[in-house]
Amino acid sequence: MKNKIFEKGFTMKILNGVAIGSVVVLIPGALLNEIFKALLPIFPQGQFILTANAFAMTLMGVVVGVAVSMMFKFTPIQTASVGMATALASGAWKIGEEGSFILKGSGDIINMTLTATIAVIIILAIAHKFKAYAMLLTPTVVMIVAGGIGVLTLPYVQMITGAVAVLISNLLDLQPMLMSILVSMIFAMMIVSPLSTVGIALAVNLSGVGSAAANVGITAAAFGLAITGWKANELGTKIAIMAGSPKMAMPNVLKNPKTMIPILANAAVSAIFIVLLNQQGTPMSAGFGISGLIGPINAINLAGGWTLGNIANAVIAFMVVPIGLAIVFRKVFTEMKPVVDVEDYRIQVE
């Protein structure tokens, strides 16, 4: 079983599972929460939507565990066991009075990742030995051992992620322009890597202008990759990238890192407009970019609502500027000072 644990792609499966699980839980709230909060005075029934989304958030540990398990093609018993262990160590629950439980928030996604990884290793290492006793032993061993380790590591992981969140927040307050540029460029890189932009943003509680900068970095990657490689890819591929799937270009970037030069330039300049136009975001909206228009919609809501000025600012920050810069930097880096070729951006679709 050692080969299965350390086989090629193990880490990628874990990261992809965490990414899918966290996105599934976050998307409903990111899309609907701000809208229905604004509508509550005239549509009180919208509270159900807010409650449902809040409940979904508390299930992130379960969903992440299940998504990770599916990456490894686990059995239903094994999948449920990983889900339980990850939820136990998520930190999304507290013990209340008389043995009751209080659910609040989504928990710590880094600790979920750690716990899910331990649970997967346990299953790959020893679950095959349980045989006829699999139903009895798998959930018990995985939940107690992996979940127990996760519960022990939770306060230390929270301490580290909390310190990182405070550091980023303080740096954004002191140097909003410089830090926004750095955040934008970092998230532009992460969206074409195995890392989950949503998970990282949530883990470090990225909010305010930092959240908007993260979103515009991802948006710059989406538009930049599509426009720079416009002549090399089919229409469907270009639309998919611009709609929010820049991870499709991950093999291209790993093969030729220079393809990110025009993208990072776009992300850096776009971040300047985010600060100048005072665009904001939340930890739940950060990491989505232009996908589902989650970044712009949250920026409009946080700016005070759907006024013409707020809409115009969001459109300029998240669409006009990144698209315009993508066109400019494509010409600069493929024609005026050619460091990349259009063919470098050809995406092989199987």
Domain ranges in the chain are 2-162, 175-345
Side chain identity at residue 81, one-letter code: S
- pLDDT tens by residue, 88-130: 999 888 877 777 788 877 788 889 989 999 999 999 988 778 7
- pLDDT tens by residue, 39-84: 888 988 989 998 998 898 889 899 999 999 999 999 999 999 999 9
pLDDT band of 143, cuts 50, 70, 90: very high
Q: How far apart are the first and last CA of the chain?
A: 31
| pLDDT at 7 (0 to 100) | 65
Helices (H), the chain: 2-5, 10-39, 47-58, 60-71, 76-88, 109-126, 134-141, 147-174, 176-190, 197-203, 208-228, 235-242, 250-255, 261-276, 294-302, 308-315, 321-331
Predicted TM-score (pTM) of the model is 0.72
| Encoded tokens for 284 | 């739940």
Distance CA 313, CA 15 (A): 34
- pLDDT tens by residue, 297-306: 889 988 888 8
Kindly report the average pLDDT of the chain as a whole number: 85
pLDDT at 145 over 80: yes
Distance CA 48, CA 112 (A): 27
| pLDDT at 324 (0 to 100) | 95
Collapsed DSSP state (helix, strand, coil) of residue 256? coil
- pLDDT tens by residue, 244-278: 667 777 778 878 888 899 999 999 999 999 999 99
| pLDDT at 63 (0 to 100) | 93
